[in-house]
Structure 1
Amino acid sequence: MRFTRRVSTPIAVAGLAAAGYYGYQQYQHQGIVPSNSPTTTSLAPSVTSGQSRPYSTGTADTQVAGVSESVDVLGATQLPEAVRKALVVDQGNLYTAQIPADQPISKETDQSGRKVLEMLTPEQATAMLRRNEESYLVGRGEGVVRYDVVQIPSNDPIEDDHVEKIVEVPDTIAAAEDGKTRSDWMFWGVFDGHAGWTTSAKLRQTLVSYVARELNATYKSALQDPKLTFPTPDAVDAAIKKGFVTLDNEITHDSVAKVLKSQSKVVAAEILAPALSGSCALLSFYDSRSKELKVACTGDSRAVLGRRGSSGKWTATALSIDQTGGTASEDARLRAEHPGEPYVTQNGRILGGLEPSRAFGDAIYKWSTETQKKLNASYFGRSPSKLCKTPPYVTAEPVVTTTKVDPTKGDFVVMASDGLWEMLTNEEVVGLVGQWLEKQASISGTNLTVGRSANSAGGWLQSWFSTQKAASLPVEHHDLKDEGGQRAPIRQQQWGVQTGQDQRFVVEDRNAATHLVRNALGGKDSDMLSALLTLPAPYSRRYRDDLTVQVIFFGEGEGNGRVELNKEASATANGNEALKAKL
């Protein structure tokens, strides 16, 4: 799921300089002059006028990629006044280039596998960022006032998926309290697929239903005990876990029985697809009566809570732990479950292959050797690894955390696939949302009054509004070593971006999730943002992953019973046709 490669600086610089010279010689004949050619720029770790900025590394056989600004350098060849920006992809390296305005790009790929693409303009990059954004105002008076969602693909088709559902629960399931006859169960899910999109799509369609069914039985059972208002926390956790495991058993094992019974390759292709691909799953469940937020994590997507601290700044609290072969607790669990198998984790991966240690699907890490051989002989599949001796090595059972939410204090939660967390730290994400909230409050005006409708302009911001105006992100900092089981954003290392440089961020979007993605991909650096969004699949996968982000805002809003599309922060289909609000 994550491409990680360490390349020494001398080798990387040498590789980049050589590639730059080669590209310069080739593109001179086409009238294309790379702006970071050795004659016009120099390479250095720091960024100054006329220098190239190392943004990312490629995979095993590539060197550090340099995406350079077009700058005026003393003695450089003067370019025509009318130019367009292009992106040159050469052996895994990126270069920006200048193309005369009257010259079309007529050839995309040459025999060396090199691509020349016209760069997206800042306006086009913004349009691409906002193409899939959604925002909903929740006027149900049950503790949630808004949630924002966005997706940016890297794979084609995107392998991520997501779900948002609000279920009205009658008092026959949830015990009546204070005269209330209604409560809400609210679900948000992020599904990070790999080796295909079918498993994540299956989770979007069915996971909430499986979990809700188990919760329904658990809550009904609690009503039989006069001492209980709610099920015990352990009972709720067990219900969520059962929903996850039951669905994965259907995907992975029940599918095999159906295929063997049908004796049809067509049926096998359809039924086995979600088993042969895989997906992480991050599901949040909020009970509006108990005000408890349960976060169930299977894999390495992540949820982080933003909460106002005593200093007035925001604090970032992780609600999940990345579950990979490189996570100490997961490595210890797997070694205990598979004694005498030293390669159960290798280079941070399960049997040296799969990175997430918990996932749906990924049947080759769960099926017995006999089952895999039988399916390969009669249908299709992949041969089991020679290291696969005592499956299963991967489980879909989630780790569940519980957090008491205080809507009166304006808590918020960010849920995202690892494509976001490999670019930003937990603190940066929470600080960026805090910065975004202050900007929205300034746009709406400061005369916000308690009790205004959650759907009225600015009303939902009351709980978050702060008069603090600072150049740095409004977040409390702590030692990154305290993250515990979570990986640092590897892309920042690849691109040479230093953490703590808050001046690189910008607020330009009305959708909080889009705001996070913009800053993850470059922020104020419009060239970097455009370059990363210009790259098509599969080249883009070397530099960024699929991105799915949800931001959930808790607060006290007016209970008008409606969930409405927030048009100012949502994309529309066919020009004016609004997205359908979800309930």
Structure 2
Amino acid sequence: MNCSNINIVFNTCAKIDRSLRQKLSSIWYKSYVLGDRTRYFHSSRTICQTQKDDVEVLLSPQEVTVILRKNEFNKDFSHGSVKSYDSNQLQSNDPIEDTRCEAQCKMTPGLLMGVFDGHGGPACAQVVSKRLFKYIAAALLPQELLENYIKQEPRELLIDTFNDRAEIVQDLKFIYDKSFNEYLSKLSNTAKDEIDVKVCLEKSIMHLDEDLSREVVEPFKENGNVNHKTLSVALSGAVACVSYIDGPHLYIANVGDCNAVVGTMTEDNEWVARKITKEHNTENFDELKRIWNEHPDEERKTVIRRDRLLGELAPLRSLGDCRYKWKAEILSEVAVPLIGQKAIPANYYTPPYLTAKPDVYYHRLTPKDKFLIIASDGLWDMMTPLQSVKLVGEHMKGKVFFNPLQLPKKNIQLGDINELLLHRKESLKSKPKDRNAATHLIRHAIGGTEYGIDHSRLAHLLSLSSDVSRMFRDDMTVTIVYFDSEFLRQCPA
């Protein structure tokens, strides 16, 4: 394996045609990268296995850990139903097509956590992660607060994001601000007596998706010009799984094939995985029926082929992906000149074939609910919800040993101290390698076996270049949110 010659290519087993992915990514990177604040616009070189006397040498455990911990992050909270969260990402594609965002609503209560899995390049996922939470936070404002916010000059921030290192370039920021102001105007003209969180989540996602399309089509209709930056966002796509947590109220909005799972402890101290979401793919028969019913009977054999929408797209709902939403005439005028005739999928007769409409779920948190896992399908392809919940549960138990031993302040005998130390020594065997639970899950997803972690497997899979790695695993993004059981115990039923 030659470390000095790393090609940015995407395997045909991915969710969209390779040549289109390459073209869209090329456009995106040439026009979008901005300075040192960018987060995933240029990923680091793949760390290859070292060569010694023509013999391949595996990555050491320390080198493996450096790779796994590169993007980890955690944050603690001092009040509310959320105690803390851990997050991490591990790329397989180069550049990574996943992204994530976490934020606190500033003008209303509630935490927003999201995982976004891109395809056809990273553009759509990156833009959605930067814009969506503002749309949601604005929709959650009561009418009077919304009208006061619109009048503010300058306006205060709607959300406080964590671990946000990316920045939108100025010309796109101008376009996005214009769209957001129009969105605020529409919100203010829609009278609402009370806030329905489910409706807010759905309309925010749908409106942002409409803006991604409109920001390309309207300027083209007005002056015949195509902005390649907004076009690359609209033609690439992203699935999303977003949680909104306000006290004991957990809402999940899901578009595509990411998943959210709640880890619950039973009365018998056993872990139960409560899967909140349901994927929008061909394994979901309700989705297949929905799509078949939306198109003529004569398209039944072409609308879903090879377990993909029009034989191309694996998720059956997503943001962006306007190749499956625009009329063929618009695609011919706007997209074909840029990326060729493949911009129009085969058997494209009755668009739109794709929607960004989310399924929105509600779950009332109880003291038995200990944590929430939100992850892209890169994780769920490698482990079941129950496996992930048990791993996080074991991690919670072992994580306490990262903290120094604290003895009771008084009235303790030497014998008691000795017994305490012996118990701690025995329990230290369960101490995990990683303090961050998201890293713990990713380590087990890649290198886990029924006997524990297989270092050689883990090291080998982390050494592969992106074109080979994509055959074995997808990008992984994991966020784990820990709940405060005592806070939830005191919440009224």
Normalising to structure 2: TM-score of the pair?
Answer: 0.70
Indicate yes or no: 2:391 matched with 1:432: yes
| Deviation at residue 446 of structure 1 after TM alignment | 8.6
Please give the per-residue CA displacement for 1:92-132, whole angstroms capped at 9, x wherever unaligned.
xxxx9996x4x268xxxxxxxxxxx7532221011000011
User: How many Å separate the matches in 1 of 2:49 and 2:127?
Assistant: 42
Q: SS of 1:521's equivalent?
A: helix
Distance 1:163 1:98, change over 3 A: closer
- Given that 1:218 and 1:239 are in contact with CA atoms closer than 8 Å, whether structure 2 keeps it comes out as no
From 390, 393, 399, the equivalent of 2:353 is: 393
Q: How many residues align?
A: 374
Letter in 2 for 1:426: P
Percent identity, please: 32
Q: Which residue of 2 aligns with 1:416?
A: 375
1:471-486 correspondence runs (5 A) = none
User: How many Å separate the matches in 2 of 1:97 and 1:376?
Assistant: 41
- Given that 2:82 and 2:483 are in contact with CA atoms closer than 8 Å, whether structure 1 keeps it comes out as yes
Q: Which residue of 2 aligns with 1:335?
A: 292
Q: Which residue of 1 aligns with 2:202?
A: 241
| Deviation at residue 384 of structure 1 after TM alignment | 1.3
Q: Which residue of 1 aligns with 2:343?
A: 383
| Deviation at residue 537 of structure 1 after TM alignment | 1.1
Letter in 2 for 1:387: N
CA-atom RMSD in angstroms = 3.1
Normalising to structure 1: TM-score of the pair?
Answer: 0.60
User: How many Å separate the matches in 2 of 1:393 and 1:260?
Assistant: 23
1:4-23 correspondence runs (5 A) = none
1:545-556 correspondence runs (5 A) = 545-555=474-484
- Given that 1:145 and 1:556 are in contact with CA atoms closer than 8 Å, whether structure 2 keeps it comes out as no
Indicate yes or no: 2:222 matched with 1:261: yes
Indicate yes or no: 2:231 matched with 1:272: yes
Q: Which residue of 1 aligns with 2:491?
A: none
1:7-406 correspondence runs (5 A) = 101=52, 103=53, 118-139=57-78, 141-169=79-107, 184-217=109-142, 231=194, 235-264=196-225, 268-288=227-247, 291-340=248-297, 341-342=299-300, 343-376=302-335, 379-380=338-339, 382-406=342-366
Where is the helix percentage greater, Structure 1 or Structure 2?
Answer: 2
Q: SS of 1:311's equivalent?
A: coil
**Higher-RCO chain (CA-CA 8 Å, sequence separation at least 6):** 2
Q: Which residue of 2 aligns with 1:39?
A: none
1:481-500 correspondence runs (5 A) = none
Indicate yes or no: 2:483 matched with 1:544: no
| Deviation at residue 370 of structure 1 after TM alignment | 1.1
- Given that 1:409 and 1:555 are in contact with CA atoms closer than 8 Å, whether structure 2 keeps it comes out as no
Distance 1:377 1:153, change over 3 A: closer
| Deviation at residue 351 of structure 1 after TM alignment | 1.2
Distance 1:508 1:97, change over 3 A: closer
Q: Which has the larger radius of gyration?
A: 1
Query: Structure 1: which 5+ residue stretches go unaligned?
Result: 1-22, 24-57, 61-95, 106-116, 171-183, 222-229, 450-467, 472-504, 559-583
Query: Structure 2: which 5+ residue stretches go unaligned?
Result: 2-10, 14-47, 147-192, 409-425, 488-493
Q: SS of 1:245's equivalent?
A: helix
Q: SS of 1:538's equivalent?
A: helix
Please give the per-residue CA displacement for 1:352-393, whole angstroms capped at 9, x wherever unaligned.
110101101111110101111122465545431231111111
| Deviation at residue 507 of structure 1 after TM alignment | 2.7
User: How many Å separate the matches in 1 of 2:431 and 2:463?
Assistant: 20
User: How many Å separate the matches in 2 of 1:219 and 1:318?
Assistant: 37
User: How many Å separate the matches in 2 of 1:169 and 1:98?
Assistant: 52
- Given that 2:90 and 2:475 are in contact with CA atoms closer than 8 Å, whether structure 1 keeps it comes out as yes
Distance 1:273 1:446, change over 3 A: same
User: How many Å separate the matches in 1 of 2:374 and 2:66?
Assistant: 23
Letter in 2 for 1:332: K
Q: Which residue of 2 aligns with 1:511?
A: 436
Letter in 2 for 1:327: N
Q: SS of 1:411's equivalent?
A: strand
User: How many Å separate the matches in 1 of 2:81 and 2:144?
Assistant: 20
